[in-house]
Structures are given as structure tokens and as C-alpha cells.
Structure 1
Amino acid sequence: MTAAGGAAPLFILSFRHRDELIAMVERAGWQPIAARRTDNAESRFISCGASVAVIDARGALEEGRDAARLLADPVEANASALLVLLSRNDSDALDAFHDAGATHFLVSPFTEHQCLQAIHYAHRHAERVGGRRPLRRDDGGQREAGASWRWQPGSKTVELSPALAREAGLGEDQGRRISLMDLFRRLDADGRKAARVAVARLLATGQSTAFAHTDSEIDGLRFAHHVRVDREGQGIVGRTEAISNRDGSDTASRDSLTGVRSGRAARDWMREQLGSASAAQPALVLLLLAVSRFDTINAAFGRPTGDAVLQATARRIERIVDADGQRCLVARLAGAEFAILLAAPTSLKEGRFLAGQLIEAIGRPFMSGDHVITLGSRVGIVGSMADDDPASLLRRASAALAEAKSAESGPIHVLDADSAIDSKLGDQLEIDLRKALDKDEIEILFQPQVSVTDGRIVGVEALARWRHADFGELGAATLFSVAERSDYLVQLSDHVQRKAVAAAAAWPQTLSSVRLAVNITAADIAQPDFANLFLAMIDASGFDRSRLTVEMTESGLIEDLSAAADLLAQLRAGGLRVAIDDFGTGYSSLAYLKALPLDYLKIDKRLCEDITGSPRDQIVVRSVIDMARSLGLEVIAEGVESEAQLALLAREGCALYQGFLCSPPIDAKALTALIDH
């Protein structure tokens, strides 16, 4: 599995396994920015431009938890993903990592493929939330990683990127090349030694490595260099990042570009307000403002113009907010996102009014040199709750901002208390589901599929059930909805498929003629070589391929009909039968029935519920059945609950049905007893 979009940067913080993770992700095409310590982890993550941060907490649980707390806010502000790797014995710490801001997790032991797949899904999550990130290119059209350098072994000069030349105070024009000796003079003694050792190791092994040094000419600024062999295998490329502040604590509390408060200062301020003795609620209101189209400004006019516009944006925000650091505070979290904080006494209504003023102010044209630039902005607004900390407050604000970005109703979205509670419950369900998968707590039940003509049970559909400690029994719809929201759809689908097939393989002789139907999803289709892996799984279980049906919903087909057709053809060629599920849910198309290799068509239960209603409803069902029969498909009606429904389906020529009229979903023991009876 290769990195989406080419050699995308990937931030890795691993306390025990850094080098092996670097080698693994490089083989997959990622560009790792890796560290063993948490020093300045926030700024390092932001500066590298990665959409995914990986914290490897295996064998270092406390360090990993501290790192998650440090990275949670910049991850939220950048609409990124935070993947945590845990030892199996530490899986009980999932709640703590979720509270600290983790969005994804993987528990060892895991294979290289599984780890890369987890990174891939975390990256896809970040793309969904924040949009695909454009690749940055230098003047020669080659992808560059911001502050970077290139050296050809044997050469006496080093080529610096414009960003690194600016950072080193060399200017952008004369700084593109620098003498190797001049460059080494800027390194302290330990840094020169570390650089020689790292380059020698890289040339000897070809494996990426890193070194750090202090720049004696810029107030002791410290840099880290992540070095690798270039794609041609002839030169050495270094990606550079500043890993310490230049001066005192006041600088640390200020954003170096815009002069407003830093993300860390904002979190400290939130923590102070939330911990105050005042009983006023909310203790504070947070506005998370994102400047729209800012990447386009950088691409069109260059970074200096983009920086100038960002500075002017900060000045406009400050003039509207009149921040004094006591009741109001403005901070730049990362990129083109700002936090505006209002302390009690305040309200969501006040926050919404202020958001309108900010959007209007930022919407006025900016002048930068000869350029007239127009920007837009979106704002997510939340109020603090009784048990909030800065991480949870920022997490909800990011969700509100994501809604503002995707909604057509306007550029402002307020996440009120009821919505926040729903969101919090959803977050808890996501964590609980991951635990349930890890502990094998998802059950498989079977709902009979019955012959309309003679009442014989000829097959069953496997359905997932989760008996949640707090919410009771949760069905497949809830399970898969939660899994999709947390990017664990593939894992849940694979878990249910394997468990259902293994259970059917162990059925007694009484059930030897009963068919099994399992569901596959759009996420399954997207997996490389899914058909062969799925067939191999069936064979390994000992279950007869000819007794298995795969069912796929219309919504899954919509995403890529061609890919679905190819996959289903492979499965059918492998001896399986194929059904289209929930036909009639709103996107029904004859194109599906013509293009797909099908054996069954399952009528959605909502159509079956209506069949005893008006003559028009009966005509619709009759038309679907006639169309399917003319194409040689057997029809299965879902959700049949009454004899009247069954009689009408029989009259229209429906072959099979499933529903509570025969039985609810039941376990294998009850299924055996039902057939014996």
C-alpha cells in the first residue's frame, strides 16, 4: 500500500521503534519526519505539513499519552489525524488516548500491511475532514518539503530550498547554494560530528536517518535534519525543521508570523478559564475560524504575499475582538486557522454575533503590493461544558468548523449543548466499538430466508449485534454507521465476515443444506485484491463456496459501479452467488441489474411494508418482481411481518422472504431448533 498522492510527509513519534517504522513507511512511499522525543513536537508536526501524526506508544505508554496531549490541538486545528500504536496489554488505555485527542489506533501484534492500512485510513480521514492537501513544488517543478537541502557526494556545495535559505538568514536569491565549508561553520562541534556520522551511515546502509545541531549564528536556534537518499539513488536530501524557540517565554506565547497568541498560550488560557471558581456557564465560548482558499493565495502569489495577507487577517481579527488577554484572546493555532476565545460572562449568541462581524471583515479585499486579494472564512462555535478540558473543547470546535465548511446553509455553525452531547456519545461509541472488536465482543446472529411456496428455510443472512453495556443491544445499522464515522468500516466488515463464515462452517448436519449470506461494503471494494483474499478466507474456514451468497447494498454500488461489477464477477466466478440488497431505497436503477452479475434481488423492507397499502404500492412491488424475474433473478422480500404481506408477495411471484413473520435474527442453536421443529 503506497502513500496517497505520492511521497506525502508523515510525522512519527516513536520512543522505541523509530528506525523500523521509518523503513516501513518509506517502502510504502511516505516521507517520514520522525523523532524519539517529544521536544517541540507541536511545532515540528505543524512545520512538516503532514496530515497524519503517528504516536508509537508500544513499550512507552506514559510517554505516548503525554505526546498525544501535546499533538492533539495542532492535529485538531489542522484537520489532521492522530494514529496511536499500542501494545496489546495496554488496550485498556484507549479511553485515555481518545480523551487526549487520538483519532485512530492499532493494537499489536500487527503486520506491516495492517499498519500501513491504518495509516492509509487515517490519511483518508484527514482528507475527508480537511480536504486534499496540495503538493508544494519548487521552481523546478520537483516536489519539495519546505525547508530542505540537497547534496551530491563529492560536491563542495549544498543546494538549499528557498524556505531553508530564508530560515537560515541567507536570503532567497544568494542562498540557493552555499559552500559546504560555510555550512559546516554554522554547526556547533557536536552537530558537525553528528552530521558526519549520519551521512556516513546513510551512504553505507541506504537507510534514512537524522541528526541535530545548533546554529551558532542565529541565537542558538536548533535544527533537526531528516536525511535520505534521493529517488535516483545518487544524491542526499535533507528535510530540515527548527526544534527549539529562539528566545524567551514571551516568544513562546506568541505566534512568530502574526504576533497573536500561540496555540499553546491559547490552551493555557482555556485551562485557566475552565478551572476558575466561577459558576457561570459557559465558562468560555470558542470560535474556530478558518480562512478559505488560503493555499490558493500562496500558490498564485507566493509565500511572502500569503504571509502578508495572514498578518493582515490577524490585525482585522484583533480590531474586531479587541482582545485584552483577560476576557478575550486571539490565537493562531496553525496554518490559516485562528481561535477566538471569550471568557464568562458570555454566550453562544454573543459568539455568533462576533462570528458574523469577523466574516464580514475578512471578506473585504486585501491589498498586498499590486495584488487585490479577496478571502472568505468559515467559523465553528462551541460553548464549554462542565467537564471540558482544552482538548475536548477544541475537538468539538473542530467538528463545528467541519460542519460550517460542508454546510450549504451558511459560513457559521454553532454546536449547541444537545448536539455536543450527541457528538460526545458518538465519540464514546467509536471508542467502545474499537474495544469490542479487539475483545471479540461483536456477536453474529442469523435471520432465516424462507421459501414463499412451502415455508422451508433455505438460507440465512448473517447480521452483527453488539450488546453494549450502557445502550443495550445495537444492530448492524448502528454498528456500521459508527464504524464508517471512525474509519473502521473495513475492520468491522472483515470481522463480521470471518466470524459468520467460521460459525457456518461449524454448523451441525441439520443445517448442511442452508445457504449463508454475508454483506460486503463499498470499503471492501476499494481494498486491493479483496476478491482473492475473501475467497481464500472462505476456503480456510472449510465452508463450501457454493453455499455462500454475498450481498451488497445499492448505496455501496453507487460509489463505483464499474469496480463493483468487476469484484462481484470475480466472486461469482469463484463459485459464490451475488445479491443486490435493499433494492428500492431511492437510487434503484435498471443499470445495476443490467451491469452486475446477480443471482438475487432483495426488495427493501420499506417497499414490503407498503404492499398492503394502496394499489399503487402493490403495482410498484409487482413491477420490481416482474423486472427481476425477466432477468432471471430470484427475489427475496425483506421485513415481512404479516400473513397479509406474505399472501400478496406470493401472488406477485416472490420466491423467498425474510422477516419477523418467520423469525427475528437468532443464534446458531436457535436456528437448529427452528429447522428441527
Structure 2
Amino acid sequence: MSEAESVPPQRAPLFLLSFRQRNELATTVAAAGWRSVAARRADEAERRFAASGAAVALVDARGVLAEGLAATQALGEVVAERGAALLVLVSRGDAGRIGDFYSAGATHFLSSPMRAVELVQALRFAERHVERLGGWEARAGANAEPLGWRWDPQLRSLQITPALAQLAELPEQPGRRGFLRQLPRRERKLVHSALRRLGADTPATAFAHDLPGVGRLVHHLQYDARTRRVHALVEPLGAAPDAGAAVRDAFEGVRDATAARRWLDQRIGESQTLTAILIALERFEDVNAAHGRSAGDALLRAVARRIDEAVRSTVGKNALVARLGGPEFLVATAPGSGTLLRSCIETAFTRPFVAGGAVTPLEPRIACTESEPDDSAATLLRRLTETIAERAAGPEAPALDRLAGDIARAIADGEVAIVFQPQVAIATGAIAGAEALARWQHPELGAIDPETLFAAAERAELGRALSEHVQQRALAEAADWPVSLASLRLSINVTASDVSRPDFADRLLGRIDASGFPRGRMTIEVTESSIMEELGEAARLLAELRTAGCRVAIDDFGTGYSSLAYLKALPLDVLKIDKKLSQDIAGSPRDRVVVRGVIDMARSLGLTVVAEGVETEQQLELLAKEGCQYYQGYLCAEPLDAAALARLVEERG
């Protein structure tokens, strides 16, 4: 008999607080028959526990002893007052601290590593403890009423709790239509999409939306396999954050990328000629590696101030100074002073900066151009970026002009091939998905790296054509995967040019459907640079993809400052840690703290974490300890063709 069959329906849910392993614990207890109110943050834990109606609180203090003890102290009083139980999980090496947790209010303990059956039995003992004390319901009374709802697919009925009815100003049983009518049409789709995702293989999911007069609400959904009902806990978060404001506050006096593009488009549209200068910092990631991300962010602010001072002293206030993302800055002004302005900026960098208490010289790459009559902000910036890239490539790299002339033929002749890099579940070692990557084998120049491939396509104004070609080939090959790969997810990348199209979501979904590959196994990967030009439009498009059943991932996370702020404002499912950041974890203790912070932040936002570029067992072990769920990199395999991927999956069982 399975755990789910042997556990009777619970009179009260389980309150679960885990700082790093919430999803894994929630899945385990859901499989055993519990409905859980799962949290990653300890903020107002006692209030949330009381509101959840739970009889047992589970605090996971493994690897976060101080945070776990503080949470236990916060919960201890309400647990004792209401005759509840509090089970604490600790690492085996911390078993000596159990007395501290007992003094703080814990009633039961379990040390890790443990098997799922041991956790289930510990929870049952905790419930029996509650029964012996007289039961939670008699003591909790009305205070155990949660914000939530329940959907019964057999009766096609939706019931909401009195607390949620009061919050939404609805009758307690408004019916399905009455509840959904409170939401905009687009956000109603989120509800239906979330319900479709749930099932025996996916017992829990979530979606978020804005409710007029209330603010941001997150619905945590859990599927009951026994009754086929869906139970939802609703968490009010308040107003959605203004990510752009967060970036602007960090770089006072310097515009962000969105504002810069608007400034450029406005003046070009007024037929003004502009001189534009792009400044890119070389080896900035070395600063992050040596001194940590906070020191890197402080350094970027110092660079912004120094550039701003050089510009103001040269041309006054009639100029644009902006940070575009990562270590890149833009200056634009009227023509005639470009040479002098560039010289002043170069002079500003002759003085070293200070990062992490150490003197740090910075060498910028600088490109300068004048706008043309048919330019837009996008084409002007692309020209600057290509100039920077050519100088960085060096004299031995194939000239972009030569490669650009070959792109159309390469696409037509099938020279651009698809390979798949496996994505591995750290907990089990099973291959769970694969990312599709482009490879160009030039008949004369040999292998061309992906960055050069896409730069050449942009130079030939074939960026969208190349992106669509890669997506179509990846989907076609994945649709023909053998049975051994039938459960794998497919990740495909989209570019800034893709996202900028108003019909992007419809075109991509049409391409997926035409291939026959199921939407439910698709992950769409976007980089920070592809969504920062117009955040609101990007958020709308990504929400469409999620509503349609796809997952959305932000790729190369850790390469830019602004990504921290934008994470909260975008509808995402997955965060992919940049290769450099993944490999930093095996560096200094400070490096590990940075990676830990990124993983904790992502998981607190409900995002799945995938580490890219993992090459050593040490990196994998450290990432696993910090709560990373998936990895890809040469430790498992290099990018493979479909046949080699199938063989690898079969070999790994």
C-alpha cells in the first residue's frame, strides 16, 4: 500500500517552513496525503501558521540553524497556546543543538539525512500528539480560517473560504463565474492554465495576479490524487514592485536601458543627429570573482558617477548618460564634441577604482558612432555593440562581414545544426531535460562559436531568420525523439529580436504546435538583455507563454546588476545561474555566500534553479548543499546530437 493510500484525509493542513528545500518537502508530504501550506520565508510565520488552520508546523533548519531556531521561537508560543505540534528537521551534525530548539518551543525532532517514510511517520506522531492534547480545532476556533478556495472537477464547483470572500468582497459561495469575474480576462487564463498543469506527476503549482483594490495575490495550488480536488492557499503580497524604479534608485542620475532607448528614439524621430558612445568594461567579472557581487555593484555605481562627471564637465546637461545592463554604459549628445568627450571619458578611467578595499584598474572598450537618418535606438545600439565585439574578438577572428555574407547560405544548406545539452536532476541524477543549442560548421573556417554566429546574423539583418531556423530544427528533432526521451523537457532560446515582435508569442506557439512537440514539456529561455528594453511588454509576452502551458526561464543569471530587481516583476518559472557564477561556488567563502544568496533568493520566489557550466564534482556537491535542483555542463556531458542523448539516457537508467 502506498503512503498516499495509507494516510486518511486530514482534518487540517500541514504548515511547512523550509528555507532551501520547500518544494522537495512539499512534494513528499503531498505524496503521503497531506495538504501543505509551504513557505520559504519566516516573515510573520506565527500569523501565517495560525491563519493556515494547520495542526502541525514543520520547520526545516537543515543548513540554516540560526534561521530555523528564530522561526521556532516565533512559532513556539502559538503552538503551545493552541495545542499544536512543531516538528523540527536538523542536520545530523547539529543534533547537539536539539535542546535549544526544545527550549524555543519545538515538540518533535528528526535528523537528516532521512528517508521519506521516516518523515511521514514523524509527522504522524506529531498529529497524534495534537490529538492527545485535545485537538487543534477546539482550541483554534475561527482563527484557523485560511484565505483559499477549492475546485471540484466532478461537480464543476468552486468554493472559497469566508476569509477570501471578505477580502475579495464576494459572497462566500459566488460560484466559479462570480469568482473569476473579479479578474481581468488575461489573468483568468492563468487560473485555467494552472489547473491544467496539476495532476499526479505535478501535485503542486502556483500562479499570481493583481486584484483591484487588494494588490498582488499568489495562489498556491495542490492536487489531491484521492479526491481529484484542487486546494488553494491564497497569499496576499501587496502591490507589484516597480523593477525599473529599483534600478534607477541604485544609479541615481543615470538612466536605465528602457529610458535610454526612449530618449534616443524621441530625438532621432525629431530628425536630430546624435553622437553615441558605448563604454564596455573589460574583465569586470574578475572583480565579482575576487571581491563578491556587492563590491561589483558598488564599483558599477562608481563608474557611473565618474562617466557622468566627465560628460557634465564637457558638454553640460545636454547629454544622455545611461547604464544598459551588465558593465555597459551609453553616452549620447549632439554631434561636434564626440572626440573631446571620448577623450575625457578615457582620461576618467586612467585613475584606478576601489573594489572590496583593493585598488582596481579598469580598462574600457569604447565605440563611437553618429546616428543616421533611418536609424532607430535599436539599430544605433546594435552598430555600437558590433564594433565593440569586433575589437574584442581580435585580428585572428573571422571578420563578421565575411561571415554575414555566408549566413543565408548556411541556413539554406543546413550547415547550422542542433545539439542538446542534458539537464540533470541533482537529487536523483536522472536526466530531466535538454537545452537546444546551435552549432555552425563553416565549410572553410571550421566551427564557429554561437556568439559569433548570432553576431554575424545580426550584421546580415538575419537575426530573426536564424533564431526561427534554430527553433524549428530543434522542435522538429525533439518531436522525433525516441521513447527513451519521451519524458524530457526541451529548452529553446529566444533572442532580443524575437521578443521585440508584438506577435512573438503567437508565432512561437504556432511553431511549437506545428512541430507536434507538447507545450507542457517546453521551456522558453530568455536572457536579461532580451527583456530589458520594454519590461511591461516582455512581461505580457512571457505571461502569454506561461498561460499557454510553457515554462519560462531567465538565462545567464548573475551577469548583470539589474536582474535582481527585474526577477520580482517578471512571470518566470526557472532561473539559470550563469556558468561563471556556478563555478565561483568552489572559490572563496565569499564566492559561495554570493551563490547561496542567488539560490535562496530564487527559491524564495518559487523559481526552479538550474546551474550552467558545472564541470567538477566539487562544484556539484556545493551546489547541491545550497539547494540547487538541476545542473548542466561537461560533468554530465558535452552538447550531444539526438542519438547520443538517447544513448546517454539509456545508460543512466
Considering the TM-score relative to the shorter chain, is it more than 0.5?
no
Using CA pairs below 8 Å that are at least 6 residues apart, which structure has the higher relative contact order?
Answer: 2
Give the structure-1-normalised TM-score.
Answer: 0.40
Give the structure-2-normalised TM-score.
Answer: 0.41
Could you say which structure has the larger radius of gyration? 1
